[in-house]
Structure 1
Amino acid sequence: MGEVFAGRYELIDPIGRGGVGAVWRAWDHRRRRYVAAKVLQQSDAHTLLRFVREQALRIEHPHVLAPASWAADDDKVLFTMDLVSGGSLAHVIGDYGPLPPRFVCLLLDQLLSGLSTVHAEGVVHRDIKPANILMEATGSGRPHLRLSDFGISMRKGEPRLTETNYVVGTPGYFAPEQMMGAEPDFPADLFAVGLVALYLLQGRKPDSQALVEHFAAHGTPSAPEGIPEPLWQVLAGLLQPDPQARFRTATGVRKALNAAVEMLPEPGPDDEPVEVFDQIGPLPPGFGPDGPETPAKPAGTPQAHQEPQQPLTEPQAPFQEPSTPRPPVQEPSVPAPPPVSMSETGSFHLAPPPQQPQPHAPAPQHHQPAYHHPAPAAPPNPYAVGSPDLAQAPTSGVPQDASGTRPYTAQHHPLAAQTPAPVRQTRPGPPPKVAVPVLVVALICFAVGIWALTQM
């Protein structure tokens, strides 16, 4: 596994290198996706200030690859972008050489679309070149271009970070006014777009210095070999050495380009289609499409011991009184008694005993007892908590069949049938709590009366 940066970004493998930092393929543990992370290698104040400017740029456009987030860890800083795997325009030219004019016009239209949004934000890119124009890996489908690397870009009106006579950018893609130290402006980016178009149509880096000198000495030259005249008229408007004679906006260039495409010849049946391949390569071991792979558990690893779940059983019925065994009476029609349950206090609630049929004695009528001999006293209940032996309490006058309940312990007894306790006889008169205060008040009144008589 790679290094985890700031507890979030796991650096996997380097996929590019720029002037001030390396670009890594990284896994974002928070958003659960792969990103491109640009790690700053230098830590001087000048480079840090450029880094802050670049990471602060937030432009949402399908053809712009701007920073999405940033993080710092000790003395290292990085910012992340979308991961674009098709390489740059330099990779496409390396695979195919000069590209068909209609394919180039499609790429230029996407580039100008993204650049118009950048300029609308007041930002001058200042470093448009094939290596900074990335491609999605779309195969033989419609190409998708992304303008990237805003490391030396600046907003119009911001203070410059370099000296007046110091030129920042890539040699070969400078506008003439940049070489003279003029303030960065939008037409300088459009001049670089014209040079990129020549690179795509000719398959080699153009000689910008010779081109500027030819324009200055002889005016607009004729169309180079392999470039249709309608398309060349648009490119000539981008390559004018005088910025006042050049296209002023990317939107204006798009309109002229769309009109030129209408006059271009249709591609022939023998024209080779241009495919954009994946230039990053497969993920290293330990990483999959969904992120870092969890190492598989080796075979034979003991599993955590788990106790088997035992089913909960209902509590058993309390012990039965020893008695003379009786022959079992099979009665299929009599349902089995419900299981014994336990109450919340821990005592047992037994189901009513099954009715035992009497084969010889007739059924009792009018609540007459089935047997005339008295039932023996039931043993004390060992499960009764903090109560007297209820088996000895008097029962109601209704005779019951005691033999049927003999196998069970005594449980419920009607307390209402017990003999009432004798009522305590009390003397008539008010209670002491009332009588004592009344007597005290009477004594006080008597004393006051005696005192009043003695004063007369």
Structure 2
Amino acid sequence: MGEVFANRYELVDPIGRGGAGAVWRAWDRRRHRYVAAKVLLHGDAHSLLRFVREQALRIDHPHLLAPASWAADDDKVLFTMELVGGGSLGHVIGDYGPLPPRYVCVLLDQLLSGLAAVHAEGVVHRDIKPANILMEATGTGRPHLRLSDFGISLRKGEPRLTDTHMVVGTQGYFAPEQLMGAEPDFPADLFAVGLVALYLLRGEKPDSDALVREFLTHGTPEAHEAVPGPLWGVVSGLLQPDPRNRFQTATGARKALAEAVELLPAPDAREERADPVEVFDQLGPLPAGFGPEGPLPPAEPARTTAPTAAAPTTGSPAGFGPPPAAYDPAYDPTPAPSPAPSPTGGFHLSPPAPQSPPTHTPPLEPVTAAAPPAPSRGPRIPPPPRAVTAGILTAALLCFAVGVWALTQLP
């Protein structure tokens, strides 16, 4: 189990680190999903103020990765964002090098779309670079980028946290006017977008200082061999050293890009190569104890079943006296088989044990208690047969009839 922050966010594993804090994959116990959690490394006043500014930015746009929630725990603070698994543009370039022009146009259009939404809120990003442009893990499908990291963004008119002679941002992606201490403005973000475009088309980080010198010395330089002319017209419009000659809005640059795409030549063999650009999942597997649906429950210890005593096979059950006199010696007191689980659910009886062939023993008649014996009256004479009794009765009747006739003959 990982560290639980503010009793809600369980930190799972680190997935990135920036100048102001570490980024973790975390489990949101309230919303039951994984999120990206940025934890500040230190709690000085400037970092906390930047944290407040970043987490206060609430812009819902498909190509932005703005903070979704925040929490504080003792001297630590964090804010969360959606978890994006495809890594950054740097990972894509590291895997494939220079990207096909049409593929780059799709990425630039999405980047300018998200940046237009930021500028519509009056916010200057000030740190546009490949590492802050994250990718959804779309495989070989249509790419989907998300502009992130608003830690040093500034709403126009808000006080700056640094002296005017200090430059805030990432070395190599500064606009010339930033180096001269100008107030942050939208064209500075657009200059950084032009540098990102060159990075995608050439496969290496551009030298912004050399570009500025070339623009100032020779005007707009010729397009690189890997950049088609119509697309170079848009990129060079983003890279003009003088901000007044540069695109003033992201919406204007996006419109020019759409027109340039219509003029691009048909895809060549390089763009139809056998290994299309694929945006891989860069997060890696979850650590032990975590699954796709969140933390796994602790494993239960294996249960052991205590052996049961065998039932007696002879004699009487415990607690009972000896068997009655009419006890059947063929009776088997072994308990009947218990229901066994069925593979399909429910139960079935276990097969009976083999038995010897049945014997035809007549059933035992029930045993009744004997009546008490009558008192003795001497030897008992058996009754005569029925024929003898009938003869005696006939003789008696004949004697009675003879006697009546003799009486009638007297004088």
Secondary structure of 2:43's counterpart equals coil
Aligned mates of 1:39, 1:47 — CA distance in 2: 11
The equivalent of 2:225 in structure 1 is 225
Aligned mates of 1:110, 1:155 — CA distance in 2: 22
Aligned mates of 1:180, 1:8 — CA distance in 2: 45
Asked if residue 29 in structure 1 is aligned to residue 34 in structure 2, the reply is no
Secondary structure of 2:170's counterpart equals coil
The equivalent of 1:87 in structure 2 is 87
User: By how many angstroms is 1:42 displaced?
Assistant: 1.1
Secondary structure of 2:36's counterpart equals strand
Question: What residue ranges of structure 1 are gaps of 5+ in the alignment?
Answer: 304-456
User: By how many angstroms is 1:119 displaced?
Assistant: 0.3
- Superposed, 1:224-373 pairs within 5 Å as 224-268=224-268, 270-271=272-273, 272-300=275-303
Aligned mates of 1:64, 1:195 — CA distance in 2: 19
Instruction: Describe the superposition over 1:378-401 as per-residue Cα deviations: whole angstroms up to 9, x where unpaired.
Output: xxxxxxxxxxxxxxxxxxxxxxxx
The equivalent of 2:165 in structure 1 is 165
Change (3 A) 1:301 1:126: farther
Aligned mates of 2:193, 2:207 — CA distance in 1: 14
User: By how many angstroms is 1:266 displaced?
Assistant: 2.7
Question: What residue ranges of structure 2 are gaps of 5+ in the alignment?
Answer: 307-411
The equivalent of 2:56 in structure 1 is 56
User: By how many angstroms is 1:264 displaced?
Assistant: 1.3
Asked if residue 188 in structure 1 is aligned to residue 188 in structure 2, the reply is yes
User: By how many angstroms is 1:298 displaced?
Assistant: 2.4
Tell me the amino acid that sits aligned with residue 286 of structure 2.
L
User: By how many angstroms is 1:301 displaced?
Assistant: 6.6
The equivalent of 1:77 in structure 2 is 77
Aligned mates of 2:203, 2:82 — CA distance in 1: 28
The equivalent of 2:197 in structure 1 is 197
Secondary structure of 2:12's counterpart equals strand
The equivalent of 2:311 in structure 1 is none
Tell me the amino acid that sits aligned with residue 292 of structure 2.
P
Sequence identity, in percent? 80
Instruction: Describe the superposition over 1:175-209 as per-residue Cα deviations: whole angstroms up to 9, x where unpaired.
Output: 00000000000000000000000000000000100
Change (3 A) 1:8 1:154: same
Instruction: Describe the superposition over 1:159-180 as per-residue Cα deviations: whole angstroms up to 9, x where unpaired.
Output: 0000010100001000000000
TM-score, reference length from structure 2: 0.73
Tell me the amino acid that sits aligned with residue 266 of structure 1.
A
Tell me the amino acid that sits aligned with residue 159 of structure 2.
P
Aligned mates of 2:87, 2:126 — CA distance in 1: 21
The equivalent of 1:212 in structure 2 is 212
Asked if residue 101 in structure 1 is aligned to residue 104 in structure 2, the reply is no
Secondary structure of 1:297's counterpart equals coil
Instruction: Describe the superposition over 1:373-423 as per-residue Cα deviations: whole angstroms up to 9, x where unpaired.
Output: xxxxxxxxxxxxxxxxxxxxxxxxxxxxxxxxxxxxxxxxxxxxxxxxxxx
Secondary structure of 2:263's counterpart equals coil
Aligned mates of 1:40, 1:46 — CA distance in 2: 12
Aligned mates of 1:154, 1:21 — CA distance in 2: 19
Secondary structure of 1:26's counterpart equals strand
The equivalent of 2:333 in structure 1 is none
Instruction: Describe the superposition over 1:336-376 as per-residue Cα deviations: whole angstroms up to 9, x where unpaired.
Output: xxxxxxxxxxxxxxxxxxxxxxxxxxxxxxxxxxxxxxxxx
Which of structures 1 and 2 has the larger relative contact order (alpha carbons within 8 angstroms, sep 6+)?
2
Secondary structure of 1:262's counterpart equals helix
User: By how many angstroms is 1:263 displaced?
Assistant: 1.4
Instruction: Describe the superposition over 1:411-451 as per-residue Cα deviations: whole angstroms up to 9, x where unpaired.
Output: xxxxxxxxxxxxxxxxxxxxxxxxxxxxxxxxxxxxxxxxx
Secondary structure of 1:177's counterpart equals helix
User: By how many angstroms is 1:267 displaced?
Assistant: 2.5
The equivalent of 1:142 in structure 2 is 142
Tell me the amino acid that sits aligned with residue 295 of structure 1.
P
The equivalent of 2:67 in structure 1 is 67
Structure 1 vs Structure 2 CA RMSD: 1.2
Secondary structure of 1:78's counterpart equals strand
Tell me the amino acid that sits aligned with residue 209 of structure 1.
D
Tell me the amino acid that sits aligned with residue 257 of structure 1.
L
Change (3 A) 1:299 1:166: same
The equivalent of 1:42 in structure 2 is 42
Aligned mates of 2:78, 2:279 — CA distance in 1: 28
Instruction: Describe the superposition over 1:78-105 as per-residue Cα deviations: whole angstroms up to 9, x where unpaired.
Output: 0000000100000000000000000000
Instruction: Describe the superposition over 1:250-307 as per-residue Cα deviations: whole angstroms up to 9, x where unpaired.
Output: 111111101111111232454231000011101001111110011232221789xxxx
Aligned mates of 1:110, 1:136 — CA distance in 2: 13
The equivalent of 1:125 in structure 2 is 125
User: By how many angstroms is 1:48 displaced?
Assistant: 0.9
Aligned mates of 2:24, 2:204 — CA distance in 1: 28
Secondary structure of 1:273's counterpart equals coil
Aligned mates of 1:176, 1:302 — CA distance in 2: 78
Aligned mates of 1:66, 1:25 — CA distance in 2: 16
Aligned mates of 1:285, 1:79 — CA distance in 2: 25
Give the total of aligned pairs: 303
TM-score, reference length from structure 1: 0.65
User: By how many angstroms is 1:15 displaced?
Assistant: 0.3
Aligned mates of 2:285, 2:268 — CA distance in 1: 35
Secondary structure of 2:248's counterpart equals coil
Aligned mates of 2:67, 2:157 — CA distance in 1: 22
Aligned mates of 2:4, 2:298 — CA distance in 1: 18
Instruction: Describe the superposition over 1:29-64 as per-residue Cα deviations: whole angstroms up to 9, x where unpaired.
Output: 000000000000111111111111111111100000
Change (3 A) 1:301 1:287: farther
